[in-house]
Amino acid sequence: MLTLASVSYRYAGATRPSLRDVTLELADGEVLGVVGASEAGKSTLCLVASGLAPRTIGGTLVGRVLLDGEDTAGRPMHAVATEVAIGFQNPGTQLSGVATTVYEEVAFGPMNLGVPRPEVLRRTETALDALAIGELASRDPDRLSGGQQQLVAIAGLLALAPRHLVLDEPTAQLDPAGTRLVSVAIGRLAAAGTSILLAEQKTDLLAAVCGRVVALADGGIVMEGAAGTLLADPRLAELGVAPPSAVRLEHAARSVSAAAAASVARSIGAVGE
Amino acid sequence: MGGIWGPLALALVAIVLPAAAARVLRRLGRTSLLLSLPIAISLLVNLFFFPGGHQVLLRLGPVTATAEGLAFALEILVRIMAIAGAITLFYLTTRPHDFVVDLERRGISPRAAFVANASVQTVPAMVERAGQITAAQRARGLDTEGSVWRRARGILPLVGPVILGSIAEVEERTMALEARGFTRPGRRTLLWSPPDSGRERLARWALVVALLVVVVARLAGWTA
């Protein structure tokens, strides 16, 4: 279980905090969605949850980040990485840049951790299978589509055998085909019981895979609830978040039928006169 | 003093024959052509400006080509060709990635190996990026063809997007690497090592012995 207890975080050099008093719990096997407009603090939340902030990028953290109730403050990044893995938007910058094949790319994490070779091979193959990209194993990662690269990046995270996966808008820079590819893969991971913290603008993806969703605004949690209820909440649009297409369709259908009823009423009225 | 036969013989044995065996002789020749301009300049400078030459071959106004200058120029030429040929042969026959993996297996630090590997792979990526940006800027009317001056000016608008773009990515890349345990101290697990047959090992030792023989012979005053 990953817990953020009253966490505030301010980037190095920033005058005001980007995350304000956030308390959050990601249970094992849970898929938790995070919505919010740009600059609402989604990425910052991901960086803090993964341990990169403040370990790698500096800044000031107040509050505690706990793994199974234990404070992570003293642990170095490579020790946190095996518990919480994080993926980013840009598929290109997440690849190691030193692997000539997808297989090596996926194996990069466990190789860094000094995991024994047979275990590296087992994890790499399991990760490739989990994302159904076994057939890409011998390809050059630089020569893949954005969506495929993102799958390879996520497989590289799975190979770390993390307990929790943090994904910061994994489909933001992908075309519709790539988005579908990654969404299906995340759905499969979610169904397999991986615990995932998923920040996304694309609420359709959240509606499909999340059990619970929190909404951020100005660095703080403003709404929290079951995915179905929260994503249908009309206040979401006020936060600058587009509701899932199913919800929009329902709204559209309602307004169309209301308009139709009104026009019927008018014509009945006209006949009456 | 000096001579060209020694280096020539060495180049034949250590470069031309192996290149032929590896079937890269033609590519080696073509790549060596890239050196023609610096070689021509060095030949001319040595030929005309060698100090203390007496046997005059040719006079061109204030400068004189001497036989001593010619001998020296040729000596330098074969040396440059031998060095450049050896390096080119290495790159034509060895995948840089294999080389770095082997270095890491032999104990260089994972960070040094990463830097070496990443630079090898980053250069083609940056070339490709520069190509894309050039194409995009041309599509918007930037002139990148024509006279040398024009092309030189065309490079300037590339500097921002290519260089600064790469620098801007550094933080993201750093985070992604650290999130994958890159900063863990100690040795990494290596997945594979390049094949190294007994014959290759033998050849390597033979080369080391040959190198020692050459150095000792040279120090003993034997020249060719």
Q: What is the per-residue pLDDT for A45? A: 96
Q: What does the pLDDT average to over A21-43?
A: 93
Angle at B152 between CA B147 and CA B153, to 5 degrees: 100
Q: What is the ipTM of this complex?
A: 0.86
Q: What is the per-residue pLDDT for B187? A: 87
**Closest A-chain CA to B184:** A78
Q: What is the per-residue pLDDT for B223? A: 61
- Alpha helix ranges (H) inside A67-225: 77-81, 91-94, 102-112, 117-130, 146-158, 176-191, 203-209
Q: What is the per-residue pLDDT for A200? A: 92
Are A178 and A146 in contact, with CB atoms under 8 Å apart?
yes
- How many A-B residue pairs are in contact by the CB < 8 A criterion? 100
Q: Return the structure tokens found at A91.
A: 């598929």
- A194 strand-pairing partners: none
The residue written with tokens 């090592």 in the block is: B193
- A196 strand-pairing partners: A31, A165
Q: What is the pLDDT of residues A246-263, one digit of tens each?
A: 888 888 888 888 888 888
Tell me which of A52 and B132 has the higher pLDDT: A52
Predicted model pTM: 0.80
Q: What is the per-residue pLDDT for B144? A: 64
**Closest B-chain CA to A93:** B173
Residue of B117, B174, B175 with shortest CB distance to A98: B117
| Per-residue pLDDT at B143 exceeds 80 | no
Q: What does the pLDDT average to over B139-149?
A: 73
Query: Of A234-248, B76-90, B128-142, B172-186, where does mean pLDDT reach its minimum?
Result: B128-142
What residues does each domain of chain A span?
2-233, 243-273
Q: What is the pLDDT of residues B183-209, one digit of tens each?
A: 998 889 998 888 889 998 998 999 899
**Closest B-chain CA to A96:** B177
Q: Do A114 and B187 touch (CB under 8 A)?
A: yes
Please state, as a whole number, how many other Cβ atoms lie within 10 Å of the Cβ of residue A261.
10
| Per-residue pLDDT at B224 exceeds 60 | no
The mean pLDDT value of chain B amounts to: 84
Q: Tell me the chain A residues in contact with residue B110 when contact means C-beta distances shorter than 8 Å.
A: 112
- A35 strand-pairing partners: A215
The residue written with tokens 């030792």 in the block is: B205
Angstrom distance (rounded) from CA B217 to CA A118? 50
Q: What is the pLDDT of residues B47-105, one digit of tens each?
A: 888 887 778 888 887 888 888 888 888 888 888 888 889 899 998 988 888 888 898 88
Are A169 and A33 in contact, with CB atoms under 8 Å apart?
no
Q: Does domain A2-233 have CATH number 3.40.50.300?
A: yes
- Asked if B173 reaches chain A (Cβ–Cβ under 8 Å), the answer is yes
| Per-residue pLDDT at A170 exceeds 90 | yes
| Per-residue pLDDT at A92 exceeds 50 | yes
The mean pLDDT value of chain A amounts to: 91
- A87 strand-pairing partners: A167
Cβ-based interface (< 8 Å): residues of A facing B:
47, 50, 52, 55-57, 76-78, 81-82, 85-86, 88, 90, 92-98, 100, 104, 107-117, 120-121, 142, 153, 156-157, 160
Q: What is the pLDDT of residues B93-106, one digit of tens each?
A: 888 888 888 988 88
Query: What percent of chain A has pLDDT above 90?
Result: 62
Q: What is the per-residue pLDDT for B1? A: 41
Angstrom distance (rounded) from CA A36 to CA A25? 18
Q: What is the per-residue pLDDT for A202? A: 86
Angstrom distance (rounded) from CA B65 to CA B195? 52
